[in-house]
Structures are given as C-alpha cells and as structure tokens.
Amino acid sequence: MIRICHIEPFGGVTVDTLTAALRDAGVDLAEAGTVTCGSVNIGNTPTARTLELLQGKRVHATGDGHTSEAGVERLVSLVTAYREMPPMRLLAAGFAPGIRVIVGEAVQAAESTVVTVIETNIDDTTPEVLGYAMERLMAAGALDVSFTPMQMKKHRPAVLLRVIAKPEDQERLAEIVFAETSTAGLRLYQAERRVQPRQIVEVDTGYGKVRVKVLPTGAAPEFEDCRKLAIETGKPVRTVFADALRAYQNS
C-alpha cells in the first residue's frame, strides 16, 4: 500500500511550524513515501528567493502568518508532487499555525484521480448559447459538461452548469464559462473520480463493425458506431446496438 503525506500550508510556512505539524502527525520523513502539497501561501511580501523556489508551483498570498525562505526551502525539499490531496484512507493528521498535514494510504481503486468541479447557476442565457458553451468546453478538454434544470430566487427557471475538469485545466475552462455565458461567479471544488478498468474490442455485426466497451460489470456498444452504421444501412439504431452486443457475447 502506498503511504501518502499531504501538506496544506494555508497560512505562513516556517521551519518551526512545518516541523511541528509533521511531528504532530507522527510523520517519519525517512518513511514518508509520497509527499504532496497543494497551494503554498507566500505571504504579502515574498522575497525573490521564495518566489524562485516556488516557480511553477501553485501559490496564493494572504496576510495569515509569516512565510520564511528557510521554511519554503524545507518544504520544497520534502515535496515529491504538487497537487490537490489525492484519494486516501486517513491514518493521522497533524496541525500547527497555518499548516495542516494529512497522512494516509492510497485507496485501492483501479483508477482514482482528483478532478475539479466547476459549477454555476444560470437563469438568463438562451439554450442556444448554453449549447455552444458546452461545445466549446468539451473541445477544450472538459471531461464532462452537464445541465440540470433548477429553480432560483424570484421563481425563475434556470440551469445548473457543471463542468468536470482536470485540475490543470480548471483556469482555462473557467475562463470559457465566463466568456460564453452570463454568469458572474463560479464554484470550484475538488472531487475524487473513480473509473473502472475497461478495454475496447471490435465486433462484426455481419453488415458492419462496431466497437464495444468492455467493463468488469458488462459490455456496451459505442453509440456513435451504431449510429453511423444505422445511417449507412437504414436499420434502426436499436437493432444495430442489439446485434453488436450479441456479436460480442458470441465472440
């Protein structure tokens, strides 16, 4: 089992506070395993050395606590990956002023990743514009985009726009939402995404080939392949879907 130590410096970072939080969590640095870190607070007046050490890393600036060069140097020497906290089974936690340390074991998921969920409520954008926004978001790399009907204040019908994104894509996709819709604000939060192991096989229906997605819980023909074959042959798409599934089961 992979052991994970996640450091969250939401306040100032010094050698003393970092050491205290690690000690409180019972972390043995010689056996720490994977050490991850989210956004680092650089304070209101970071030094040139501090900025140099954190170049390319996720940072934020608040007046909560003091961030020292020595503290950042120590942090950088420990961290093996800069990212949001990965999915884990919690074992211990440690706290010090401005710093939180979470220790756990990686979950036993076939594929478990962290994604960013971008949400907003919209009650004054036309369906045509929303449809175009979805097209742009998907083309820009969104993992999924959905609309959920809802009712807002003043009894207005509206939609909840939800975008599932890779963390590294969240800023770019958020900009598209602002550009293509009327929203004035977004909610962003992290979520765990689990995906079952899968493989793609190709089957012959007798009048064309269709790809089939195979999961541990069953199999499903790819709809776009079935749709294309239905248009080419004139057969109902439900017939093509059933024939493809039967071809896979008999293979």
pLDDT at site 112: 60
**Whether the Cβ atoms of residue 49 and residue 17 lie closer than 8 Å to each other:** no
Which residue has tokens 């809802």? 150
Identify the CATH homologous superfamily for domain 112-194: Transcriptional regulatory protein pf0864 domain like (3.30.70.1380)
DSSP string, 16-74: HHHHHHHHHTT--GGG--EEEE-PEE--SS--HHHHHHTTTS-EE--SSS---HHHHHH
d(CA 105, CA 49): 34
d(CA 66, CA 174): 31
Which two tokens mark 88? 């884990």
Q: What is the torsion angle, in degrees rounded to the nearest 10, for the CA atoms of residue 164, residue 166, residue 170 and residue 175?
A: -70
**For the segment 136-145, what is each residue's pLDDT rounded down to a tens digit?**
999 999 999 9
d(CA 211, CA 226): 9
pTM of the model: 0.55
Distances (CA, A) of 55 to 163, 213, 229: 28, 42, 51
Which residue has tokens 């770019």? 172
Whether 241 shows a pLDDT value over 90: the answer reads yes
**For the segment 172-216, what is each residue's pLDDT rounded down to a tens digit?**
999 999 999 999 999 998 887 877 778 899 999 999 999 999 988
Whether 221 shows a pLDDT value over 90: the answer reads yes
Please give the average per-residue pLDDT across 236-246, as a whole number.
Answer: 96
**For the segment 91-128, what is each residue's pLDDT rounded down to a tens digit?**
999 999 999 999 988 765 555 677 899 999 999 999 99
Domain locations along the chain: 3-106, 112-194, 199-249
d(CA 59, CA 49): 14
Neighbours of 185 (CB within 10 A): 7
d(CA 56, CA 37): 13
Whether 2 shows a pLDDT value over 80: the answer reads no
Q: How confident is the model at residue 171 (pLDDT cuts 50, 70, 90)?
A: very high
Neighbours of 90 (CB within 10 A): 9
d(CA 22, CA 131): 48
